[in-house]
Structures are given as structure tokens and as C-alpha cells.
Structure 1
Amino acid sequence: MRELNRRLLAAARRGDAHEVRAALHAGASVEARDEELRSPLLLAALGSHVETARVLVAAGADPDAQDRRHDSPWLVTGVTGNVEMMRVLLPAGPDLTLRNRFGGISLIPASERGHVAYVRAVLRETTLDVDHVNDLGWTALLEAVILGDGGRPHQEVVELLLAAGADPDLADTDGVPPLRHAERRGFTAIAALLQAARATTGAPSPAR
């Protein structure tokens, strides 16, 4: 069994769907783990090996299996921004509240990295909490502003988050709201989006 599991893990890591299927058929455990506690499905997700992931999901692989770093197949899709992988995992019923090592859900790293297509898809196709706050005290909206570069992808992410109901006034742990962060960083386009969103709620301008 141990050798079969190693065979399965190696095949998942390199994205060999045929070999993954063969290893499973020979008796390898779909929930085998490597030295970092990464499952075959997590390895497939990390490598964006969609067909391999599809085989593993069909075999009952757990989309929430976390490794030593608290990464899971589902959470990793927010890091890679792979929409196709996200859609392969959705039928497996991932826990949308599962947190990574920073206390965040998949939407947060996706917003930080400016994965526009992923943010659009995950907001449309799931019921995750758009205002989830991680252990740093940041929402997806705050991360898009604080850790983004202010370019078009991050502008689009901010637009999508606001359209999905993200609270434009939800501040960080220091009480600094997204608008003030955007203004401090010189992100005029993002600041304008946030000002417009705040205007629709009738919120007063934040103190400088």
C-alpha cells in the first residue's frame, strides 16, 4: 500500500491522470499524504492539473484536506486563480468557510493577486462571505487595495467585490477603511470606485 500511495502522489504531482487512475485501481488510497501532508488532490490543485483533479474528485477525494500549511485543494484555487479547477472541485462540496494559515477564505488571496476571472466566478457560483475577515483583520476588499498594485486587474476585483455587496467601510484593525488606504497609495481609480460605493450608502467621508 505504501508504494502504491507513493506512486499515486507522484502521478498527481506531475499531472498524470492515466497513472493516477491506474494507481487508484490498484488500491492506492485517494487520501494518501506526502511528507508535508499534501493529498493527491492538493498536489493536483497546486499544479493546476485539472484532468488529474477530475479523476480524483470522481474517486471521492476530499476538497478540504489540509496540509501542514493549512492549504487545501479548494483554498489553493484562490491562490492559483484557476477557474476550471474551482469548477471541478465545486461538485465535491468544499467547505467555503475553511480558513488558510492566515485565517482567510479562497476569495482573499484571489483578490490580493488580482485574479479577476476567479473572483468573478467564485462570487457568482458560490455563497462565500464577501466580507470575511482574516487573522490580519483584512477582507478581500482590503487586501485588493493594500496588497494590490492599483492596476486594472485590481480595479476590476474591487468592482466585482463591491457589486457583490462588499462593505466599502469595513476598516482594518487600526480603523483604516479601504478608501483611505487607496488614497494613501495613490490609487485614484480604486478610490473613485470606493467613493461611489460609499455615496450609494450615504456614508460620510472618512477622516483623513
Structure 2
Amino acid sequence: MTNEPIRDEPSLFDALYEDENTVVRALRAGARAEASDEEGTTALYTVAVQDRPEMVRLLLAAGADPNRASGPEAGDLPLCGAACGGHTEVVEALLSAGAQPDLREEFGF
């Protein structure tokens, strides 16, 4: 089994802009929950700042690290992004999955 999506299946990042079923299909096809785009932004960070709690839970259940830094300088954290956006349900999901509330982002947030 490879970590590459099966041909004709959406990539994980494409799936994030669809629905939960599309994300599940991408993960089952071999997409990694820890995937990041060309700028280093993780899939988990992407859905955390977009206030997508169901997708956050799916990625966490599939093995995404709630404490993994994201972005070009690896300075953004999903928990901080969700908290700054006021996304309470996402914050709760991340904390339940072990996100550490005392980690600092690149600029000290």
C-alpha cells in the first residue's frame, strides 16, 4: 500500500473543499492525514481555521498531530488558529485530541 491517492480519487487538499465523505474517500485511498501543501500548510490547520469541526475530527482520528506546526515558517498551530477565529467546537476537538494550549506560534501567540 502506498501513501499516494489512487488515481481518479481527490487529493486530500481538494477533498477539504468538498465534504466529509470526500475526505474519508481520500484518506481511504491513501492520502495522509499529516499532509501539507506546497507552502507547508497542514490539512489540519486548513480545516481548523475554516471552522470545519467534523473534518478536524476526521483528520485527528486518521492520525493528524494536533500539535504539528504549519505554514511556510512552520509557525502556525491549529489550536491557535481556531482560537483566534473563535471556533469553539474546533478548539474543543483539538484539546480533546491532545493539543497543548501552552505551545507558542512563530510570533509568540
Decide: shared fold, TM above 0.5: yes
Q: 2:94 maps to which residue?
A: 89
Matches within 5 A, 1:157-172: none
CA distance in 1, matches of 2:99, 2:18: 21
Q: Which runs of 4+ in 1 moved over 2 A?
A: none
Q: Which has the higher helix share?
A: 1
Matches within 5 A, 1:29-48: 29-48=32-51
Q: 2:64 maps to which residue?
A: 61
Residues 121-151 of structure 1 show CA distances to partners (whole Å, capped at 9, x for unaligned) of: xxxxxxxxxxxxxxxxxxxxxxxxxxxxxxx
CA distance in 2, matches of 1:80, 1:27: 31
Shift in alpha-carbon separation, 1:58–1:22, aligned structure 2, 3 A: same
Q: 1:8 maps to which residue?
A: 12
Which of 1 and 2 has greater Rg?
A: 1
Matches within 5 A, 1:48-127: 48-67=51-70, 68-69=72-73, 70-104=75-109
| Corresponding residue SS for 2:11 | helix
Residues 5-56 of structure 1 show CA distances to partners (whole Å, capped at 9, x for unaligned) of: x7102222x2521111111111111111101211111111121111111111
Normalised by the length of structure 1, the TM-score is 0.45
The one of 23, 26, 43 equivalent to 2:29 is 26
How far residue 2 of structure 1 moved from its aligned partner, in angstroms, is: 6.5
Aligned length: 102
CA distance in 1, matches of 2:96, 2:53: 14
CA RMSD of aligned residues (A): 1.9
Name stretches of at least 5 consecutive residues in structure 1 with no aligned partner. Answer: 105-208
How far residue 3 of structure 1 moved from its aligned partner, in angstroms, is: 7.4
How far residue 102 of structure 1 moved from its aligned partner, in angstroms, is: 1.4
Residues 80-110 of structure 1 show CA distances to partners (whole Å, capped at 9, x for unaligned) of: 1110111111121012221112112xxxxxx
C-alpha contact (below 8 Å) 1:57/1:92 kept by paired residues: yes
> How much identity, in percent, do the aligned residues show?
36
C-alpha contact (below 8 Å) 1:15/1:47 kept by paired residues: no
